[in-house]
Amino acid sequence: MGPGAGRELLRSAAIGDHSRVREILELRPTLAAYNQAIRQESCLHAAAARGHLEVLEAVVETLQPKPPMRPWHQAVDRHLNCVGFLLSEGADPLVQDWEKRSALHHAVGHGKAPVVQKLLQDTTHVRTQFGLQVLKSVHLRDAFGQARYMDSRAIYGMTPLHIAVMRQDSACVRALLEAGADFTIRSAGESELPPPGVGSLPFGSTCLHLAALCANVGIIQALLQANADCLGGAREPRRAWEGDQHLDVRSMPDAKGRLPWCLAPRRCVDIARILDPTRPMRGALQDLQAMQGALGAAKLQVLAAAAVRNRLLGSLRAIQQKPEFAGSELFALGNESHERKLLRAAGCPSN
């Protein structure tokens, strides 16, 4: 192999030529460690970033022993099948980049809800010094101390749930909450990634502070529903550095003493009222369901009212068409008020 074999390996991996990749590595396995001087991208990283599963298989099968490289962050950005393959081959999902971001941070940052669900499944395990553990519950050291894998904070102080809320990604927010992500954890440090049009996110902000800034009704509803579920559940023992999900998250201030409702935009009076911690949680959730854009009973009520109204109007038209009422001036004069009475009795607007 010539001096350009490393560059050829990277090119082949990037375009998905798994046959050529296998041929090069069989002759010179050490080239698997070759990377570009600037981007520090090896053949594994190049293949994972572009979703070339056959190239990944060729590299892993050719190398003995398996390489210490773990191109998690490129794979989770785009390709679920590559994530599954890397997991099955024993890649370490706990690895972090220089900003202390895990594979989960990258998946959420790119809006890949299926990858988030894959990483947080109860069947996704990782081998640690304590044996085989469920990945999402593994305790590790993040940029600011101890944390569970799914609650770890990067150097800018935000958990994956903070990032999902900031991006207003409802799918990732729900995936994280369903997996048990802690919504009471406060950000650590001034974030350089605030919501669009908003200044820096202050130290000590919860996910609800971010949701209030974004004025996203659906995400606020998801966070408060998760909080309500915890308030009604049994209290589990927690470590000192973990949040207490049995607190009303609406009553948790940031480092400047501001509650989430204080951060709601001035035009969003309804959101500020819902986030007022003196308002009962059940009433707040009912108001959220009734607001435009929230999913729940309010929209079903509107649909049901429209269906009843159409049915009543159809019945009235059928009565009008009966021979005994044909040409009846009395019925025609009283028809409008009678229709309104029926609609009013059914609780429907008469328009």
Q: What is the pLDDT of residues 88-99, one digit of tens each?
A: 766 777 877 777
Please tell me the distance from the alpha carbon of residue 40 to that of residue 281, in angstroms, as a whole number: 50
CA distances from 50 to 14, 56, 112, 208, 287 (A): 7, 11, 15, 35, 45
Q: Residue 125 in 3-state DSSP?
A: strand
Tell me the C-alpha distance between 44 and 178, whole Å.
Answer: 32
Tokens 């650590």, residue located:
188
Best CA proximity match to 272, nearest among 259, 285, 283: 259
pLDDT in tens, 331-348: 444 444 554 544 454 444
State the average pLDDT for the chain.
75
Average pLDDT score over residue span 149-156: 85
Tell whether the model's pLDDT for residue 66 goes beyond 80.
Answer: no
Number of neighbouring beta carbons within 10 Å of residue 280: 10
Contact between 249 and 183 under an 8 Å Cβ cutoff? The reply is yes
Global pTM reads: 0.60
